[in-house]
Structure 1
Amino acid sequence: MFKLPVLAVLLAFLFSCNTASAQSNYTVTDFFVPNGTLQLQVRKVVETTYSSRRKLPLLLIHGGIGATTAFDLDVEDASFAKALALGGFTVYVMNIRGWERSTAPAYDLADTSLVAGSCQEAAADIDAVVNYVLQGNPSGKINLFGWAAGGHWAAYYTSQHNNRVANLVVLNSLYGVKAPWYFSDAFADTTDPTKFSSSIAPYRQSTEQAVAETWKANTPPADSASVAADSAMVTAFAKSAVSFNEEHLLKTPGGFRKESFYMANGRKYWDAKDITVPTLIIRGDKDQWSRSVDADTFFNELIAAPNKKKVTIANGGHFVFLDINGNGRRKLLIAINNFVKKGL
């Protein structure tokens, strides 16, 4: 006789949870953090409906696409930052120098040896933002999430500043392993495949159409409920990526391409053994930027991390954090929440 009332209560609870999620409110604050003469663009996203929750600070670091485009896309339910904020994080989204509205130094673009936006420069920018977020708390720590080149930068930073990082999470990132790489031919010198092509400009410039094609080339085919089939998402993503200058081009320092090329050929800019914080390595099995050997080797060489975990997302592509129609983003969010909050 108790089955119906219990079921009714359960359904009411589930409905209220779903309604609360759908009606969640967020405070979004944009500001700049100085790093010497540079100004670094930062966005803070906080979910305010459940204000009594303990909110852990989480800094998101982009890859080859700027941070607000990648992590806070203005499409319904697409914001990865808001999804993380709903899970109980105070989310900070930053742009490394030269991305979106972050300023850049006056690089000598005629210098073919230039690494514009190197991992050392990126780490200095991350440090400036971390210090800003943790100001007034000298013993405070932040959680870091880095995607693709951002994972490379976040890991490099962590290897130098373990005392400032609570947990490190990397997604679809390279490690210094010599192995076949999808982009090797595109980046290699035609006369010497072991060297980065000197004909590639220190700055990358891409049109809106090229950005859209990059999405399509790095997203699994829509043979299931895949975000690749959502043309509105692709269009918004490409338009956002090129919206930060009058030329309507995605203009970014290209040093990450040079470093990635040499990482894929076995060079280590940082060593996993120097990371002493809990580390979560995530890779979509359809990602073309990273390779399974990167995740495996990174994991195996994390000999000093007190907790480490490796997760593979089935049918996950390069932009898995925007996979809102499939299960990719859901699996990513669960992995981050379980590891950072529960150590699982």
Structure 2
Amino acid sequence: MSQNIVVNGTELVFEESRVQTGTPGIDLYVRNKRPASLSTFTPERTIVMVHGATFSSGSLYDVPFNGMSYVDYLAAAGYDVYALDVRGYGHSARPPEMEQPSEQSPPLVNTDTGVADLGAVVEHVLQQRGLKKVCIFGMSWGGTVAGAYTSRNNDKVHKLVLLAPQWLSDKPIPIDAGGPLGAWRLVPVRESKARWLSTAPEYARAGLVPEGWFEQWADFTLAEDPWSRERAPNQLRASNGPIQDIRDYWRAGRKYYEPADIRVPVLLVHGEWDIDVPIDLAQALFLELKSAPYRQWVEIGEATHLVLLEKNRLLAFQAIRDFYDHAFRGET
């Protein structure tokens, strides 16, 4: 499907497509936005995005608060932006185990699967646009997926941006509530605001998410999984593979991938009040990115793990756009 939309006076093309995987019956939903005037495609201006462990790319990156989403912002700035849903998320196909009781199967859609799905979409974009490289963006679990993919495919990545990526932790990680893990879990979307706001200081909670934004986000997010309307109203299915990987890697002191194998420019973005990925974890990862030609860190004040959905989102948007926009050449 293709349609033209106008964002802040810029005409954008919005296209939806499906990309096949190596698994029969499983295809991936990809949303693409770009300027209607864009006719020449380059690695520098092409971005592929992957989401975190709970919510889809649409939910995290394309809810149009005040008429503009994160994807809209980058597309209006001249970028050809692709945002994929890993299988089991958003509009992508659900593994058949997600139609069965959770306790009947082990955790679904682990990081290996996320990396494979990102790789399938990158190959699709490279072929569609006639390119050899793209830029990559990932947040949280998606930062692990993006970092791992890049570490194994530097030749296909121009620049990498990681927002609050996972890293080794000797403390409990909030997304893992403990106990046995089935194939998937139910996330009470409309009840998540209290937990979200609780990660900020009490004095800042009332203004962290502008009025009406949470409700708009929740409506958008729930609409992506019609299954929930009949069987679990106001809740969303999310796969448990990423949580099993927290136990097998990040809490066990095992690196899922080697950051020193990343040999492209990297930007790390972090929110001051992020308790899911505390600042010491982000710093530890930053120091491991030893082989990047250059690396930058941007700390967004008064922001949580979900900075892209909060009052200071434009600070993150601008920092990310600036990193993608400019080449660092150093002193001569």
Same-fold status (TM-score > 0.5): yes
TM-score band w.r.t. shorter chain: 0.7 to 0.9
**CA offsets per residue over residues 293-329 of structure 1, 9 Å max, x none?**
2221111111211111111111121111122xx3x22
- Aligned partners of 2:228 and 2:237 also within 8 Å: no
Q: CA RMSD in A?
A: 2.6
For 1:7-22, what aligned pairs fall within 5 Å after superposition?
22=8
The residue aligned with 1:73 is 63
Instruction: Specify the SS of the correspondent of 2:121.
Output: helix
Which 5+ residue runs of structure 1 have no aligned equivalent? 1-19, 189-196
Deviation of 1:218 (Å): 4.8
Deviation of 1:224 (Å): 8.5
- Aligned partners of 2:41 and 2:129 also within 8 Å: no
2:204 to 205, 223, 241: 223
The residue aligned with 1:57 is 46
Distance 2:280 2:258 in 1: 15
Distance 2:128 2:50 in 1: 23
More deviation, 292-301/90-99 = 292-301
Distance verdict in 2 for CA 1:224–1:209, change over 3 Å: closer
Distance verdict in 2 for CA 1:314–1:205, change over 3 Å: same
Instruction: Specify the SS of the correspondent of 2:284.
Output: helix
- Aligned partners of 1:220 and 1:316 also within 8 Å: no
1:337 to 300, 321, 324: 321
- Aligned partners of 1:219 and 1:319 also within 8 Å: no
- Aligned partners of 2:186 and 2:236 also within 8 Å: yes
Matched, 1:155 2:151: no
The residue aligned with 2:18 is 32
Distance 1:168 1:158 in 2: 8
Distance verdict in 2 for CA 1:115–1:320, change over 3 Å: same
1:233 to 184, 206, 213: 213
Matched, 1:206 2:194: no
For 1:266-285, what aligned pairs fall within 5 Å after superposition?
266-285=253-272
Letter in 2 for 1:179: D
Deviation of 1:155 (Å): 0.7
Instruction: Specify the SS of the correspondent of 2:96.
Output: coil
Letter in 2 for 1:253: S
More deviation, 235-244/260-269 = 260-269
The residue aligned with 2:171 is 180
Deviation of 1:265 (Å): 4.4
Instruction: Specify the SS of the correspondent of 1:76.
Output: helix
Distance verdict in 2 for CA 1:86–1:219, change over 3 Å: farther
Deviation of 1:53 (Å): 8.1
| Number of residue-to-residue matches in the alignment | 308
The residue aligned with 2:300 is 313
The residue aligned with 1:88 is 78
Distance 1:78 1:266 in 2: 40
Deviation of 1:282 (Å): 0.9
Deviation of 1:106 (Å): 3.2
The residue aligned with 1:23 is 9
Percentage identity across aligned positions? 24
Which 5+ residue runs of structure 2 have no aligned equivalent? 1-5, 230-234
Distance 2:203 2:132 in 1: 43
- Aligned partners of 1:179 and 1:264 also within 8 Å: yes
**CA offsets per residue over residues 241-280 of structure 1, 9 Å max, x none?**
2222232331121111222344144221111111111111
Distance 1:167 1:52 in 2: 21
Deviation of 1:62 (Å): 0.9
Distance 2:112 2:257 in 1: 10
Matched, 1:252 2:238: yes
More deviation, 141-150/249-258 = 249-258
Distance 1:139 1:72 in 2: 25
The residue aligned with 2:160 is 168
Deviation of 1:187 (Å): 3.0
Distance 2:30 2:257 in 1: 25
Instruction: Specify the SS of the correspondent of 1:170.
Output: strand
Distance 1:147 1:304 in 2: 21
Distance verdict in 2 for CA 1:303–1:75, change over 3 Å: closer
- Aligned partners of 1:173 and 1:289 also within 8 Å: no
Distance 1:274 1:23 in 2: 41
Deviation of 1:214 (Å): 4.5
Distance 1:59 1:214 in 2: 29
Distance verdict in 2 for CA 1:286–1:53, change over 3 Å: farther
More deviation, 125-134/80-89 = 80-89
Letter in 2 for 1:342: H
Deviation of 1:39 (Å): 0.8
**CA offsets per residue over residues 29-58 of structure 1, 9 Å max, x none?**
11111112211000001123x647876111
Distance verdict in 2 for CA 1:178–1:223, change over 3 Å: closer
More deviation, 314-323/143-152 = 314-323
- TM superposition score normalised by structure 1: 0.81
